[in-house]
Structure 1
Amino acid sequence: MYLDDHLARPFGSIPALVHVTAAERPTQPALILDGHTLSYAGLDALIGRVANSLQREGLKQGQAVAACASTSIEYVALFLGVLRAGGLMTPLPPSATPQNLSAMLANSGAKILFMDQACARQWSTDEQAAAGLNRVWLDDSSGDASDWSSWLTPHATPTPIFPEPHWPFNLIYSSGTTGTPKGIVQPCSMRWAHVQRAATNGYGPDTIMLASTPIYSNTTLVALLPTLALGGTVILMSKFDTRRYLELAQQHRVTHTMLVPVQYQRLMDDPNFDDFDLSSFQAKFSTSAPFSAALKADVLRRWPGRLTEIYGMTEGGGRCELEAHNYPHKLHTIGKPASGHDIRLINEQGQEVAPGETGEIVGSSAAMMEGYFGMPEKTREVEWFDAKGKRFIRTGDIGRYDEDGFLTLSDRKKDVVISGGFNIYPSDLEAELSQHPAVRESAVVGVPSRQWGETPVAYVVLRPQSDVSAESLLQWLNARVGKTQRLADLICIDRLPRSEIGKILKRQLREEYTAKS
């Protein structure tokens, strides 16, 4: 096959692979959004025009180009065009606060920003514009020369760029769920490793991948970019909606998808889920947040195709995979280390723990970030080196290997509640709460306590028509756990706060509770 020779090489370029498919299969659909289809020939030409326009602007190798916008075909072309021009793509999350967005932009050093009106409504960039920042409107909303259509050159023949493995590919900012976002520099070699991995996971020219998470998210990019590199078709969703997702999956005979656990939950809860024909699915993937064993079992039972849970970080390093369809008795775990990934557990002193003991997860692989952009001290904080000097990335997650080599995830290190000198793992309490028939989901956080230093508090979302009171649920839970694990309070709420990719914002819950107290 025409892609085989490229994939067999130690390193390659994703925009170059798009060009190969455009030459071999020009009419193959590359991107589909809201009924609009762009072929590989059209995508390749648009990528070339973007790269040519950026080079006209004087873009230098490794220089950042920022974007803050909703999902669009133009956004995908921009991403790949920046790479073809030799730049550093910097997707910013529109959901971030204006203060954080300004800090990210300043940290990146980008001199050109692509945005749309939806983003501009919540983040004014007047100060940056006055300082010489060049803004281009991806949605052609200004009616002048700064619109996307006017900014693009008609020529699609940029000066050729030949990337090296160590070149920066993109600069992705962390979710900021635990503090100020940090810029993660992912090298070209890391993204190439993703492409090669996708080929072994069944992605190829016949793949039809449904992408329903935002483009700025690494969750999206680890599926979207390899699909395009391997000549498949990507169905884009500008906003996730369960009914629309199911309609698109059935209409386009989707074969692959990458979802976060909360999306799986909402899809399985849709009263019409079983009415849709999803038999075309070959593989489904999940990442970015804890995936409960009960939900995995429900997906396996009702949704055709393989189900693989992926554990890892945007920073790279260690990656675990649970092939849930092959190991239905291990759904409570996150699987085993992927091929080529070295995952170990260390204690507070930075020493490896004995087999069967709990420790912080650290990982090393070919897919690792270069570091946090402009933050060498922050980079050093997440690095760990073994006795031979091998570099690992610290995850901040706590885990334990079972006797079969499967890794069980306990909690985020920062989320562990230390009450009266005892470690309390919120996931243990959340798992216990899930046993109550009235509980749909929960989040346990540690809040300041004068008596104990910290104490656990639970936020609970009840199932529809449940009439259990918060007090009775609190008493039920405290009667089932050890004395040191007992909750100090339990609050029932309509919905847990989440980031756009489904991570529960525990820091927000802690701050809200502390403020009220």
Structure 2
Amino acid sequence: MAAGTDDVFQRDFATFSQIVGWRAEAVPDKPALADPSESATYSELDRDATLIAATLQQAGIVKGDTVAICALNSVRYVVAMLGILRAGAVIAPIAPSSTPDSICVQIVDSAAKLLFLDMASDACLQASTVGVPIERVVLDDPAAPCGLAAWLARDAVFVPVDVGPDDAFNIIYSSGTTGVPKGIVHSHAMRWAHISRATYPADAVTLASTPLYSNTTLVSVIPALAAGGTVILMPRFDARIYLELAEQYRVTHTMLVPVQYRRLLDDPTFDDRDLHTFRVKFVTSSPFDADLKQEVLDRWPGGLVEFYGSTEGGGVCALAAHEHPDKLHTVGKPLPEHDIRLIDQDGREVAPGQIGEIVGRSGAMMLGYHRRADLTAETEWHGPNGDRFIRSGDLGRFDEDGFLVLMGRKKDVIISGGFNIYPGDLEQALRDHPVVGDAAVIGVPSRIWGETPVGFVTLRHPGEISAHELRDVANASLGKMQRLSEVRIVKALPRSPIGKVLKTQLKDDFLRTSRE
């Protein structure tokens, strides 16, 4: 084939590793990656990944083996990831923000044969009480005995590996804070689906500020590199540094989570920045308030596209917010060839306009949970024809135009006095007050009602309103059975590294302080 040309995407299937190799042939000197410390052209990325793959093979890693990575975003992280894939192995990206013991549990669960990590993660693992007898390769310490330079076998000869669509690409752990990890296994076919449907042009400059262990990041970085673009990697998100990099590299594309948009727009220098090079900004991973979407459209050049889906895969919805300003309260319509349906608690499809659990089917679906056939079966729903769908755990309804409106997590529904209360409605009532920055609502035990809703809010201007006053204002706009029993003002809502509100932590904190 003519390497690096658009006919890459006319194929039925190609691996990410193959495509990067073709880009290296077509545009060897084009910048592929950059971080604060180093950069790599496509030829350098391809060459270094092949050397890592050859060294892995010499170390006994064979097709289907797992190799873990626990590090902050960097050029070397992506090189190692590509080298693992080229050797036919499976990547297990692990969050360095997890506790040392949790990191070790995930390494053991993944059955990783080798661990790439950075100096910070290496030091963190020394504190673990679990301990894992695994070879470690430190990516960012060239002087270390276990550093990348010392580990690489310069004379190793790479033996090409035949990788097919159904072979595993990665194991992503959806919860690194629990004692029982849940590894989501994606195939090369699923990653190909992400690559082939993406719209990144070859001249795209993508700024990646979310962590590479997250599917949120991979669904952006992998297609951007496959297209032959340039990816700028931030080890950690910082609003001011993000804006500086956006100007410096004349960024055209980015994938962010909602809380990052809020922090960027709140930066006092935002409106003075030259951001006219942005063409499209993407968002996913957690609910995106309609008012915040509108603010992004008003203040930030370029389009705004929201994706709704899950790490497990299934159906995906997309909302081109700049094309549908009247649908900002929705997450858009299902993508082509994505089948999304709503079911009740008994697994039956609900009537049009009714609320149900969101289930989806597409060419991008997980193989299953790693070594957990029981959990895999629980997350599947089979349609009338026997087709396999993935349960999202989210509740939603389709409006009259076919746009999906999220109603919250199924597990977060509050049952008060026998009535279902959807936290999203109450959270929006709180956010409607001009001094509220963000809001989250949980259900807490009630002797009278079974459960009762409690709101937590952050304020744009602390001291302007009391919690009691804010509760009364919100309740005035809510139905009688929806009313908040209490509102608490907090400095910040607890969030995961990719911005999801940790409602379990809110509930635990509430119950603890209520007993004190």
Change in CA separation of 1:304 and 1:178 when aligned onto 2, cut-off 3 Å: farther
Q: Which residue of 2 aligns with 1:431?
A: 428
**TM-score, structure 1 length as denominator?**
0.96
1:134 matched residue in structure 2: 135
Deviates more, 1:444-453 or 1:37-46: 444-453
**Distance in structure 2 (CA, Å) of the matches to 1:507 and 1:120:** 29
Quote how far apart the aligned CAs of 1:89 are. Answer: 0.3
Structure 1 residue 38, shift from structure 2 partner = 0.9
Mapped contact 2:142–2:150 kept (Cα < 8 A): no
- Could you say which residue in structure 1 is the equivalent of 2:476? 479
Contact 1:438 1:466 in 2 (8 A): no
- CA–CA distance in structure 2, aligned partners of residues 179 and 415 of structure 1: 22
CA positional deviation for 1:180: 4.6
User: What aligned pairs does 1:119-158 form with structure 2 within 5 A after superposition?
Assistant: 119-124=121-126, 132-140=133-141, 143-144=144-145, 146-155=146-155, 157-158=157-158
Rounded to whole Å, the distance in 2 between the matches of 1:170 and 1:125 is 27
Pair 1:204-2:208 in alignment: no
Question: Aligned partners of 2:486, 2:275: CA distance in 1, in Å?
Answer: 42
Separation in 1, partners of 2:29, 2:65: 33
Structure 1 counterpart SS, 2:348: coil
Whether the 8 Å CA contact 1:45–1:156 is kept in 2: the answer is: no
1:249 and 2:249 matched: no
Equivalents in 1 of 2:155, 2:384: separation in Å?
54
Matched-pair contact (CA < 8 Å) for 1:117–1:141: no
2:359 is equivalent to residue 346 of structure 1 = no
| TM-score relative to the length of structure 2 | 0.96
User: What code does the residue aligned with 2:232 have?
Assistant: I
1:92 counterpart residue number: 94
Is 1:413–2:415 an aligned residue pair?
A: no
**Counterpart pick for 2:314 among 317, 332, 340:** 317
- Provide the residue aligned with 1:391 in structure 2: 388
Range with greater deviation from structure 2 (155-164 or 272-281): 155-164
Is 1:36 matched up with 2:38? Answer: yes
Residue 70 of structure 1 corresponds to 72
Letter in 1 for 2:126: S
Residue identity matched to 1:193? A
More off after superposition, 409-418 vs 103-112: 103-112
Contact 1:116 1:141 in 2 (8 A): no
Q: What amino acid sits opposite 1:429 in the alignment? A: L
1:141 Cα deviation after fit: 6.8
Say which SS state the counterpart of residue 111 (structure 1) adopts. strand
Distance 1:78 1:448 in 2: 48
Alignment partner, residue 165 of structure 2? 165
Deviation of 1:40 (Å): 0.8
Instruction: Measure the CA separation in 2 of the matches of 1:142 and 1:489.
Output: 56
Q: Deviations over 1:47-71 (max 9, x none)?
A: 0011011101111211110111111
Asked if the contact 1:311/1:321 (under 8 Å) is kept, the reply is: yes
Query: CA contact under 8 A between 1:178 and 1:507: conserved in structure 2?
Result: no
Select 1:360's aligned residue among 357, 360, 367.
357
- Where do residues 141-290 of structure 1 align in structure 2 (5 Å cutoff)? 143-144=144-145, 146-155=146-155, 157-175=157-175, 180-198=180-198, 201=199, 203-290=200-287
Deviations 1:224-267 (A, max 9, x none): 01111111100111111111111111111111110001111111
Contact 1:346–1:360, Cα closer than 8 Å, also in 2: yes
Q: How far off its partner does 1:277 sit?
A: 1.1
Structure 1 pair 335/36, CA: closer, same or farther in 2 (3 Å)? same
1:380 corresponds to: 377
- Contact 1:13–1:192 (CA under 8 A) maintained in structure 2: yes
The residue aligned with 1:17 is 19
SS of corresponding position for 2:21? helix
Q: How much does 1:152 deviate?
A: 1.3
Letter in 1 for 2:69: A
How far, CA to CA, are the matches of 1:436 and 1:70 in structure 2? Answer: 37
Q: Distance in 1 between matches of 2:32 and 2:295?
A: 32
1:516 Cα shift?
2.0
> Aligned-pair distance for 1:3?
2.8
State the distance in 1 between where 2:156 and 2:50 align: 4
Deviation at 1:177, TM superposition (A): 7.7
Give the whole-Å Cα distance in 2 for the aligned partners of 1:356 and 1:40. 49
SS at match of 2:350: coil
Q: CA, structure 1 residues 22+473, in 2 after alignment: closer, same or farther (shift >3 Å)? A: same
Q: 1:177 to 1:354 in 2, by over 3 A?
A: farther
Give SS of 1:122's match: helix
Measured against aligned partners, the alpha-carbon deviations of 1:370-400 in whole angstroms (never above 9, x if no partner) come to 0000100000010000111000000000000
Q: CA deviation at 1:126?
A: 6.6
Q: Which runs of 4+ in 1 moved over 4 A?
A: 125-129, 176-180
Distance 1:484 1:45 in 2: 63
Amino acid at match of 2:395: I
Q: Which residue of 2 is the match for residue 327 of structure 1? A: 324
| Paired residues of 2:99 and 2:177 also in contact (CA < 8 A) | no
| CA separation of 1:50 and 1:128: change in aligned 2, threshold 3 A | farther
Report the alpha carbon displacement of residue 84 of structure 1 after superposing the two structures with TM.
0.1
Shift of 1:125: 7.0
Q: Do the aligned residues in 2 keep the contact of 1:48 with 1:155 (CA within 8 Å)?
A: no
Output aligned runs, 1:109-120, within 5 Å: 109-120=111-122
Write the deviation string for residues 75-119 of structure 1: whole angstroms up to 9, x where unpaired: 110111100000000000111223322221111011211122322
2:46 & 2:149 partners in 1: Cα distance? 16
Q: Choose which of 105, 108, 114 in structure 2 pairs with 1:106.
A: 108
The equivalent of 2:49 in structure 1 is: 47
Q: Residues of 2 paired with 1:262 and 1:157: CA distance?
A: 46
Please tell me the residue identity of whatever aligns with 2:172.
I
Rounded Cα–Cα distance in structure 1 between residues aligned with 2:342 and 2:151? 51
Sequence identity of aligned pairs in percent? 53
Pairing 1:464–2:465 present? no
Higher deviation after alignment, 487-496 or 311-320: 487-496
**482, 498, 503: which one aligns with 1:501:** 498
For 1:437, what is the secondary structure of its paired residue? coil
Matched AA of 1:512: D
Note the residue ranges of structure 1 that are not aligned, 5 or more in a row: none
Q: Shift of residue 155 of structure 1?
A: 4.5
Contact residue 459 and residue 491 of structure 1 kept, 8 A: yes
Deviations 1:416-454 (CA, angstroms, capped at 9, x unpaired): 111121111111011000111221111101112222221
Contact 1:183 1:372 (8 Å CA) reproduced:
yes
In structure 1, distance between residues paired with 2:177 and 2:265: 26
Kindly indicate whether the alpha-carbon contact (under 8 Å) linking 2:206 and 2:231 is maintained by their aligned counterparts in 1. yes
CA distance in 2, matches of 1:98, 1:475: 44
Q: Is the alpha carbon distance of 1:359 and 1:229 closer, same or farther for their aligned partners in structure 2, counting shifts above 3 Å?
A: same
Secondary structure, aligned partner of 1:112: strand
Q: Name the SS of the counterpart of 2:254 in structure 1.
A: strand
Q: List alignment gaps of at least 5 residues for structure 2.
A: none
Number of positions where the alignment pairs a residue of Structure 1 with one of Structure 2? 512
SS, match of residue 124 in structure 2: coil
- For 1:90 and 1:210, the matched residues in 2 are separated by 23
Structure 1 CA distance, aligned partners of 2:446 and 2:121? 40
Larger deviation: 343-352 or 148-157?
A: 148-157
Deviations 1:262-310 (A, max 9, x none): 1111111112111111111111100001111111111111111111000
Distance 2:409 2:74 in 1: 34
Q: 1:194 to 1:365 in 2, by over 3 A?
A: same
